[in-house]
Amino acid sequence: MTRSIEIVVVHPELLGTYGDGGNAEVLSHRARLAGVDAVVHPVAHTEPLPSGADVYCIGGGEDVAQIACVQALRGRGADTLAAAMARGAQVLAICAGLQILGDVFPGSRGEPVEGLSLLPVTTHRGVERLIGEIAMRSPLTGTMLTGFENHRGITELRDGLQPLGSMTLGNGNGIGAVDGVVTDSVIGTYMHGPALARNPELADVILRRLGIDTTAVHDDAAVAFAAERRAVASSMAAQQQRRGRRGPSARQW
């Protein structure tokens, strides 16, 4: 292996409640299968964010941890991320991680907290917590992506920002029947925790954007796992349709 990529996990001690560390593991696992070495570098909120990494993974967490994270990133950390996005590094932002990249997100009592303003995105608090399996069709991968959502954020995309996918099950952003956000350098989603584990093709999009050829990557366990979750999500969506029920997103927001 000649090439090596650096994957930074941003503040895992704060934003890592739901197995978010899995995303860096899946990325490096698939990079190695593609013949590229990977170094995973967890960076605590007390340390400066390294400026030269290829991927920055920002995970989900409780609102108190989310606020501590954004406070630590304000200023230099945000500048580092902005520069990384400008040079084509990739940011994977999960749940709370997606919210802090925007202009504003809700604090513990729903009060607005200023985000890092790296994306034209605003989040406010919804009526109830959205918990359960979700699925979406994603133009980015050309496949159905599946995950588990557990949040109370309603996230609006502005300025023609593109979502990651259109919901076939569950709520995602909670508005417009879409989930997440995609730019040239950011993939954000409400599929919480190890979202890349269930969606290896999404991991491969990130690797390809770094110039890694993933055509030779074969991992039967990943394929079987992703296929099973897609099948479960499809049958759950069909069941909901038969009952004439639309997702809570359609009813409430």
Partner 1 sequence: MSLRLRLGLVAAAAAGTASRLLGRGNGVAIAGRVLVAVAPSALRELAAGRRIVLVSGTNGKTSTTGLLASLLAPLGPVSTNGTGANLTGGIAAALAARPRAQTVALEVDEMHLPLMLDALQPQAVLLLNLSRDQLHRTQEVRVIANRWREALDRHPEVHAIIDYEDPFLAYVTQAHERTTRLGFGFRTHLDAACCPGCSHPLTWQPPRYHCAQCGLGGRSVHRTEQAAGAVERNAALAREAARWMGVADPPVDRTRDRVASLRLAGRDLHLRLVKNPASWTEALAHLPAGPVVLAVNARGVDGRDTSWLWDVDYTPLRGHDVVVTGERRLDAAYRIGVAGVPHRVAADLEQAVAALPSDQAITVLMSYTAYIAVAS
User: Residue 26 Cβ, how far from partner 1 at the closest point, in Å?
Assistant: 6
User: Residue 165 Cβ, how far from partner 1 at the closest point, in Å?
Assistant: 19
Q: Pick from 7, 8, 18, 73 the residue near partner 1 by CB under 8 A.
A: 18
By CB under 8 A, the residues from 124 to 153 that bind partner 1 are 131-133, 148, 150
User: Residue 88 Cβ, how far from partner 1 at the closest point, in Å?
Assistant: 26
Residue whose tokens read 């989310």? 66
User: Residue 14 Cβ, how far from partner 1 at the closest point, in Å?
Assistant: 5
Task: Measure CA 128 to chain center.
Answer: 21
The 10 Å Cβ neighbour count of residue 89 is 22
Is residue 13 near partner 1 by the rule CB under 8 A?
yes
Which one, of 57, 73, 67, 62, lies nearest residue 21 by Cα? 57
Is residue 19 near partner 1 by the rule CB under 8 A?
yes
Record the tokens describing residue 171, joined without a space.
């709520």
The per-type count for the chain, helices as H runs and strands as E runs, is 8, 12
Which one, of 125, 65, 58, lies nearest residue 85 by Cα? 58
E strand or H helix that includes residue 81:
helix 76-86
Between residues 8 and 15, which has the closer beta carbon with respect to partner 1?
Answer: 15
Between residues 12 and 115, which has the closer beta carbon with respect to partner 1?
Answer: 12
Site size with partner 1, rule: CB under 8 A: 35
Residues 6+ apart with CB under 8 A from 242: none
User: Residue 47 Cβ, how far from partner 1 at the closest point, in Å?
Assistant: 12
Is residue 64 near partner 1 by the rule CB under 8 A?
yes
Which one, of 131, 129, 70, 138, lies nearest residue 105 by Cα? 70
By CB under 8 A, the residues from 34 to 53 that bind partner 1 are 45-46
Is residue 224 near partner 1 by the rule CB under 8 A?
yes
Is residue 193 near partner 1 by the rule CB under 8 A?
yes
Is residue 190 near partner 1 by the rule CB under 8 A?
no
Q: How far apart (Å, rounded) are the C-alpha atoms in residues 134 and 177?
A: 11
Residues 6+ apart with CB under 8 A from 60: 15, 17, 18, 20, 94, 95, 96, 97, 151, 192, 193
The stretch among 20-28, 73-81, 110-118, 135-143 that binds partner 1 (CB under 8 A) is: 20-28
Which residues are at the interface with partner 1 (CB under 8 A)?
Answer: 13-14, 16-22, 25-26, 29, 45-46, 61-62, 64-65, 67-68, 108, 131-133, 148, 150, 192-194, 197, 221-222, 224-225, 228
